[in-house]
Amino acid sequence: MNEKEKNNDLNLDSKNSEIKEEKYKETGMGLEKSKNLSTLDLIYSAILGVMGGIISSLIPFSLLIKVWYPLTGGTQLVSGHHVIWASIVYGLTRKKQNIMVTMSVKGILEFLLGDPWGLIIIFVNLMEGFFLALGFFLMEKIGEGETKLGWGIAGGFGNFFQAPFFWIINQRWHLHFTLWILAFMFAFISGILITGILGRAIKNYIIKAGVPTSF
């Protein structure tokens, strides 16, 4: 074999080696999480938003509280059920955008079903969704994004701010300050127990049942 043939063989082996390296080169694209909302994300947001809108509008959970706590503000003890839908969809998708989509669908449906607050109810839902997403963001930053504690605090954070909003626009200045404090405490506790802890439990049961997640 002459020198020219040897060089050709070496060049051929070099090209084959480069092709193999290029073929098996890891790009990492398969490990990246898509930040865009998938079809499954939107389906979950629509279903849970519609369920939340119907239940919040047509089922008077507050009557369960008024039977044994007739004072103003007691209904905040069950107010967390308004936001639980957003925590469930977050657990199934791990995308905070879905929280806002779900609460938007829920708010629009409540408005169409004749909510007495009119268009304000859409803003309230978006406000709850924003603070719930913020709560999950903060819990993830301190490493509690998947724990009961983290979900409880995020849920309480998401449900809390609607209470002072409603009390201020209702101008309940004539009520004793202790009723204000109790109402805000009830809203936070309801957010912890219903939106956070119960929402997390429902999410886990749904996943165990085989419902596909999008993360």
Q: Sort 71 into a burial class: Cβ within 10 Å, 0-12 / 13-18 / 19+.
A: middle
1 in a structural domain? no
Write down the pTM of the prediction: 0.81
Number of H helices, E strands in the chain: 10, 0
2 in a structural domain? no
Answer left, alpha or beta for residue 143, where phi above 0 means left and psi between -120 and 50 means alpha: left
HEC string for 23-74: HCCCCCHHHCCCCCCCHHHHHHHHHHHHHHHHHHHHCCCHHHHHCCCCCCCH
5 in a structural domain? no
Domains in the chain: how many in total? 1
Average pLDDT, the chain: 86
Q: Give the separation between CA 7 and CA 19, rounded to whole angstroms.
A: 18
| Cα torsion angle, 20, 23, 26, 31, sign | negative
Question: Residues 128, 162: contact at Cβ < 8 Å?
Answer: yes
State pLDDT tens for residues 20-64: 444 444 443 333 355 688 899 999 999 999 999 999 998 888 888
Domain of 40, in residue numbers = 36-208
167 in a structural domain? yes
State pLDDT tens for residues 101-150: 999 999 999 999 999 999 999 999 999 999 999 999 999 999 998 999 99
15 in a structural domain? no
201 in a structural domain? yes
Torsions phi, psi of 71, nearest 5?
-70, 155
Task: Out of 2-16, 64-78, 200-214, give the one with best mean pLDDT.
Answer: 200-214
99 in a structural domain? yes
